Amino acid sequence: MTSTASTATGPVSTRSRWVIASSNAGKLREFRELLGGDGGVEFVTQGELGVDDAEETGLSFVENALLKARHAARATGLPALGDDSGLCVDALGGAPGLYSARYAGGHGNAAANIDKLLTALAEVPETARRAHFIAVIVLLQHAEDPQPLIAQGVWPGRILSTAHGDGGFGYDPVFRPDGHDCSAAQLDPLVKNRISHRGLALASLKRQLTNLYANP
Ligand SMILES: O=c1nc[nH]c2c1ncn2[C@H]1C[C@H](O)[C@@H](COP(=O)(O)OP(=O)(O)OP(=O)(O)O)O1
Ligand SMILES: [Mg+2]
């Protein structure tokens, strides 16, 4: 191992296959839409390669995104993209936040998570229902990459009092993005991808990749 481990393998964009370190079908759909046709890179999900979920033991989104990417990179030998994301509600002190997927216990039951959120906010008036989605996306060239690329996106809005729409995933039916008069689940997927936390984080990651390998 040299001190230039992360660059010794050459520009990331020339590697042919990257693994997406997520098991969330909604996220994976958005990644495919957002990364489609990018620079000759082929994307494969960790599930397609038989990789199980990483344990999300971090105390921050960036730590969990790193844990996910490192787990998938180690298991596959491929560059890996990890996404840790969540919904932070001001009136709940930032909850469910890091624990958004596990809010109602278990893992990833969106209907139960939404029920719990609407119950917690039942007495909170519309003006005090501010919230934001956050996504941290990490790219590792390999499991020991000491120079991860890290990007973050934030999507501000408020929590509705009932669920609307059947697009998107997770908390989308109860999230009304600023500047839109509907829930995130009612947005055209192209619009969501352009303005969402995940879309912004991936755009930032792509800018970092371009800058990293641009000739001075
Ligand atoms: O655009 C979004 N629209 C709606 N809900 C969203 C969004 N983005 C994140 N979320 C929610 C879903 C889940 O409750 C939590 C993410 O948890 P998080 O651990 O990052 O993902 P996950 O466990 O579902 O899949 P995985 O860890 O395999 O990537 O935030
Ligand atoms: Mg998770």
The pLDDT tens digits of the residues spanning 11-65 come to: 554 558 999 999 999 999 999 999 986 678 899 999 999 999 999 999 999 999 9
Q: What is the pLDDT of residues 102-142, one digit of tens each?
A: 999 987 799 999 999 999 999 999 999 999 999 999 999 99
CATH classification of the domain holding 165? 3.90.950.10
Annotated catalytic, 178?
no
CA-to-CA dists, residue 184 to 22, 155, 158, 173, 179, angstroms: 21, 11, 11, 6, 11
Q: Cα–Cα distance between 59 and 124 in angstroms, integer?
A: 28
Which candidate, 214, 100, 212, 77, places its Cα nearest to that of 148? 212
Report the domain count for the chain. 1
Q: Counting atoms of ligand 1 from 1, which one is nearest the CA of 101? A: 14
Does the beta carbon of 45 sit less than 6 angstroms from any atom of ligand 1?
no
Does the beta carbon of 109 sit less than 6 angstroms from any atom of ligand 1?
no
Structure tokens at 85: 């994301």
Percentage with pLDDT > 70 across the chain: 91
pLDDT of 7 above 70: no
Token pair 């609307």 in the structure block, residue? 164
Q: Cα–Cα distance between 71 and 76 in angstroms, integer?
A: 9
Q: Cα–Cα distance between 62 and 138 in angstroms, integer?
A: 8
Atom 25 of ligand 1, nearest CA residue: 24
Instruction: Domain of residue 136: give its range.
Output: 5-212
Q: Cα–Cα distance between 32 and 20 in angstroms, integer?
A: 10
Q: How does the average pLDDT of the chain come out, rounded?
A: 92
Q: What is the mean pLDDT of residues 185-204?
A: 98
Pick from 31, 53, 83, 87 the residue to mutate for probing ligand 1's pocket: most ligand atoms within 8 Å of its CB: 87
Token pair 């990789």 in the structure block, residue? 51
